[in-house]
Amino acid sequence: MTIRVGIVGTGLIGEDHGRRLAGVIRGANVNAVADVRRERAQEVAGVVGGARVFENGLELIASDEVDAVLVTSIGETHAEYVLACIDAGKPVMCEKPLAPTVAECERIIEAEAAFGRQLVIVGFMRRYDLGYRHVKASLERGTIGDPLILHNIHRNSVVPESYTSFMTMTDSMIHEVDVSRWLLDEEIVAVQVIPPKRTPKAFPHLQDPQFAVFTTESGILSTVEFFANCQYGYDVRCELVGSLGTASLVNPALASEITAGQDAEAIPADWRERFGAAYTAEIQAWISGLERGECVGPSAWEGYAATKVVEVGVEAVKSGERMTIEYVDKPALYR
């Protein structure tokens, strides 16, 4: 059986995921697309081998021609589409964030809990990156002992002027928030943001770099340096310090070049290059799960928890204070 996927939002990542679904993912094709930019949807319909272009996302979700939905429109629209998928009883993979506000995420987990079965997964692809999986395996083997500190680095070459100091939390560090929760298997209960000296290479309105300290339930610290305009490429690092040793991400090398007196390794230009394989693994796991009648991937609860942390994180950016985080009770569906 081929799963017929409809894509709502055919921008940068919608097109990327469309190419994956049409080209390398087994068991699925893209037969429907929708975007507020109709010409863009038409373009991507061609890229994926000829999908039907729907008037809007809600019509696509309601269509009998669509078995599962990929939501890759802008974050502000996610809740409406994910809730429509739950109403229609259709599986949905929603790119991060599940929704930009905690209130919307709560509506989604309530609706899914009332539906009684998991339909929603959230696109936290780092969980599928081989390096992060090895760090998690080290922890699970027990060889590095008890986890004490997680150091994260997330650097971007440059960002546009529209990027704000709050987006360091909501758009970027949300990935480290999810990685911390997933690797350590604990909720984050506090966050503090300490602004370092600013780079002269950022627009004046942007605090860059940004530095955050997240604390988990048992007191493990997860530090994040996010540097939006580091100039040299896309660079993601992670070291988990345990009581007996450490486990670190080894970034995949693209190629190395040896010239007079130098051995140089290329650095990925952006997230698409660095995490391309992880996106493919994430979508394949989702589709293969659907073929078995299962919903495989980070749940709506994981999406809610990440949005909760970054929403409080934005307040921590404003105040500079250590802010505590409290969650609603986890519905039985997610336990």
Which residues make Cβ contacts (< 8 Å) with residue 141, sequence separation at least 6?
none
Up-side HSE of residue 289: CA atoms within 13 Å toward CB?
19
Asked if omega into 147 is within 30° of 0 (cis), the reply is no
Instruction: Give just the sign of the alpha carbon dihedral 60, 278, 15, 208.
Output: positive
Q: Binding residue for ligand NAP (CB under 6 A) from 3, 6, 7, 14? A: 14
Q: In Å, what is the CA distance from 64 to each residue of 6, 36, 132, 240, 302?
A: 11, 21, 38, 47, 29
Binder of ligand NAP out of 35, 176, 178, 225 (CB under 6 A):
35
Residue nearer to ligand NAP on the CB measure, 38 or 107: 38
CA quadruple 25, 31, 33, 38: dihedral sign:
positive
Instruction: Give the distance from CA 109 to its chain's centroid.
Output: 18
Interface stretch with ligand NAP, choices 29-37, 191-199, 226-234, 248-256 (CB under 6 A): 29-37
184 lies in the binding site for ligand NAP (CB under 6 A):
no
276 in contact with ligand NAP (CB under 6 A): no
Interface with ligand NAP includes 123 (CB under 6 A)?
yes
In 143-245, which ranges are E strands? 147-155, 188-193, 210-216, 221-227, 235-242
Could you tell me which stretch among 33-41, 84-92, 132-140, 156-164 binds ligand NAP (CB under 6 A)? 33-41
For position 96 contacting ligand NAP by CB under 6 A, the verdict is yes
| Residue 164 binding ligand NAP, by CB under 6 A | no
Compare residues 271 and 286 and give the one whose CB is closer to ligand NAP. Answer: 271
CA distances from 120 to 68, 108, 151, 257 (A): 10, 9, 30, 44
Q: What is the dihedral of CA 277, 8, 180, 305, to 10 degrees?
A: -160
Radius of gyration of the chain (CA): 20
Query: To the nearest whole angstrom, how small is the minimum distance from the Cβ of residue 129 to ligand NAP?
Result: 11
Instruction: Tell which one of 79, 93, 122, 125 touches ligand NAP (CB under 6 A).
Output: 125
Give the nearer residue to ligand NAP in terms of CB position, either 36 or 189. Answer: 36
209 binds ligand NAP (CB under 6 A): no
Q: How far is the CB of 35 from ligand NAP (least distance, A)?
A: 4
| β-pair partners for 227 | 155
CB of 311 to ligand NAP, least distance (A): 15
Should residue 57 be labelled a site residue for ligand NAP when binding is judged by CB under 6 A? yes
Q: How many residues bind ligand NAP (CB under 6 A)?
A: 23
Given candidates 67, 95, 178, 311, which one binds ligand NAP under the rule CB under 6 A? 95
DSSP state of 169: I
Query: Measured between alpha carbons, how far is residue 9 from residues 41, 72, 74, 235, 319 in Å?
Result: 8, 5, 7, 27, 35
Cβ pair 174, 96 in contact under 8 A: yes
**Does the protein bind ligand NAP through residue 36 (CB under 6 A)?**
yes
- Contact code string over 64-83 relative to ligand NAP, x by CB under 6 A: --------xxxx-x------
3-state secondary structure of 30: strand
Considering only the stretches 30-38, 154-162, 211-219, 320-328, report the one whose residues sit in contact with ligand NAP under the rule CB under 6 A: 30-38
Per CB under 6 A, the list member of 40, 134, 198, 237 interacting with ligand NAP is 40
Which part of the chain contacts ligand NAP (CB under 6 A), choosing from 12-20, 231-239, 294-302, 327-335? 12-20
Binding residues (CB under 6 A) for ligand NAP: these are 8-14, 34-37, 40, 57, 72-75, 77, 95-96, 123, 125, 271
